[in-house]
Amino acid sequence: MKQILIDPITRLEGHGKIAIFLNDKGNVENAYMQIPELRGFERFAQGRRAEDMPQITSRICGVCPVAHHFAATKALDDAFNVEPTPVAKKLRELMYCGYYIYDHILHFYYLGGPDFVVGPDAPAAKRNVLGVIEKAGVEIGKEVIKHRAYGQKITAMLGGKATHPVCGLPGGVSKGLNKDEVKEIETMTKSCIDFAKFSLKIFDDFVLANKAYVDFILSDPYQLATYNMGLVDKNNKINFYDGDVRITNQEGDEHIKFKANEYHKIIGEHVEEWTYIKFPFIKDVGWNGFTDGKKSGHSRVGPLGRLNASEGMATPLADKEFKRFYETLGGKPVNSTLAFHWARLIELLYATERVMELVKDPQITSDKIRNPVGEPGEGFGVVEAARGTLFHHYKLDKDGLIDKANLIVATVNNAGAINMSIRNAAMGLIKDGKVNDGLLNMVEMAFRAYDPCFGCATHTLPGQMPMEVKIYNNKKQLYKIIRQNM
């Protein structure tokens, strides 16, 4: 007999839509968030010149163009059988860390931070960057603007516009650095290192010094014991631009380590009827529904996933913070979703230190920035986007045109975990059919921690994400709707 899908479990459309299902006692059974998946990319890409992919894919998303740009460039290195020159790799990584600087600053001060600095109970209208400045002072606001701009400038010096980079070519980059630019980057980066340290101090003063907040971070609704995934270097330290993909388990031990081109061997994709998203899971663990724990193949990516999947940071100050992070939060792995915010600041510090290392490298002004390409074939590229692991996979025909293209983006890698985090937050706030007033806020905090990217549609004016939570009873009848910005 054909299975009939009962409304409302049809494919959810629009963004920011959350459906919460209650059981017969009026408690939360399940919750789902619609993350709009942009469709038709494969068909769109087919027949285009492969060299255009770094520019085309950087347009996919207004928030992570640099990540797509380099995932594509690396896939082209592989597809054209060419190893970039050593200095080209360093220049790419330098530019990439510039992107982390502005992206992580933006998230902490504008998006994630306000919930903590202003307070999770503050009215929605205050929980934004303006509220942060009201509380922390105008001078801090100026520093935020300045250092975000520095990150963008570092990116732009190599890539043209930070929002639309042109830099990566198979086998290398299109532009190197001269001595004046090196000096300028050094000056900006020195200031960025201090600012990253200062940001960690803000986190200390406003969050860690407040026992109620620490308890909140460690509270049950915000715990999720999935596997963790991220790129690591040969010493298992975090690297944003290059390395192997490492997955660690609930004890913090390595489960598996693999190269980008083994992705399909290691990671499966699970299809649900209500969404176009294919949920990635670790194949040898298996799909076990939306559950966490060792028997369920979900893994988390992004700042917390990366910290948990690594054995430290490759720069001294960030590594010290890494150790303090685990000492404070009770050892490795940390499963608190809200710890993403702290992890993000530790990564900010790493990005600034790493730019300094790279820019002081005597080789950095070399003009050997590109190697000649080979014959076209198949290629895989992987980078750590600010919000998690990003894969590009292309098959080229003999003329170097795209035959097949597939992308697995960070938010999709986190999609299962985001749903579970929303469900767990909702569970704490809906009891016996009674919906607590703080529901929307707590649910928002649960998914905001991941810094999810909802595709490129979010820049249509007026530029706000409408949010709608629909709560259904055990007969799947609509019980309550909570809306914001709709």
Partner 1 sequence: MKTIVLGVGNPILRDDGVGIHVARKIKEKINNPNVVVDEAITGGMNLLDLMTGYDKAILIDAVNIKNENVGEVLSFPLSSLSTTHSDNPHDASLMEALELSKKLGQENIPKEIIVVGIVLKEIPYIFGEELSPEIAKAVPRAIDLTLNEIKRDMNLR
Residues found near partner 1 in the complex (CB under 8 A): 16, 36-41, 43-44, 56, 59-60, 62-63, 65, 106-107, 110-111, 124-125, 127-130, 133, 138, 141-142, 145, 148-149, 152, 162-164, 387, 444, 448, 451-467, 484-485
- Taking residue 4's Cβ as centre, other Cβ atoms within 10 Å add up to 5
Which tokens belong to 118? 């202003």
Nearer to partner 1, 38 or 225 (CB): 38
- Residue 305 makes CB contacts below 8 A (sequence gap 6+) with 228, 229, 230, 299, 388, 389, 414
Q: How far is the CB of 427 from partner 1 (least distance, A)?
A: 23
Could you tell me the smallest distance in angstroms from the CB atom of residue 221 to partner 1?
20
Encoded tokens for 240: 């944003």
- Identify the DSSP state of 143: H
Q: Considering the complex, what minimum distance in angstroms separates the CB of residue 424 from partner 1?
A: 19
CB of 388 to partner 1, least distance (A): 13
Our CB check for partner 1 shows the closer of 57 and 315 to be 57
Q: Rank residues 62 and 268 by Cβ distance to partner 1 and give the closer one.
A: 62
Token digits of residue 411: 């938010």
CB of 451 to partner 1, least distance (A): 6
Name the residue nearer to partner 1 (CB basis): 148 or 306: 148
Nearer to partner 1, 152 or 424 (CB): 152
**What kind and span of H or E run contains 212?**
helix 211-217
Structural contact between residues 446 and 422, judged by C-beta atoms closer than 8 angstroms: yes
| Min CB(368)–partner 1 separation in Å | 32
Distance between CA atoms of residues 181 and 158, nearest Å: 10
Question: Is there a contact between 259 and 245 (Cβ–Cβ < 8 Å)?
Answer: yes
For tokens 């893994």, the residue is 299
- CA-based nearest residue to 107, from 358, 341, 421, 367: 341
Taking the complex as a whole, how short is the minimal distance between the CB of residue 401 and partner 1, in angstroms? 17
Question: Residue 257 is encoded by which pair of tokens?
Answer: 């380590």
CB of 58 or CB of 226, closer to partner 1: 58
Q: Which is nearer to partner 1, 66 or 256 (CB)?
A: 66
172: three-class secondary structure by DSSP: strand
Q: Smaller CB distance to partner 1: residue 306 or 332?
A: 306
In 10 A of CB 116, how many CB atoms? 24
What residue type is 108 in one-letter code?
F
Q: Minimum distance between the CB of residue 463 and partner 1, rounded to whole angstroms?
A: 4
Please state, as a whole number, how many other Cβ atoms lie within 10 Å of the Cβ of residue 95.
28
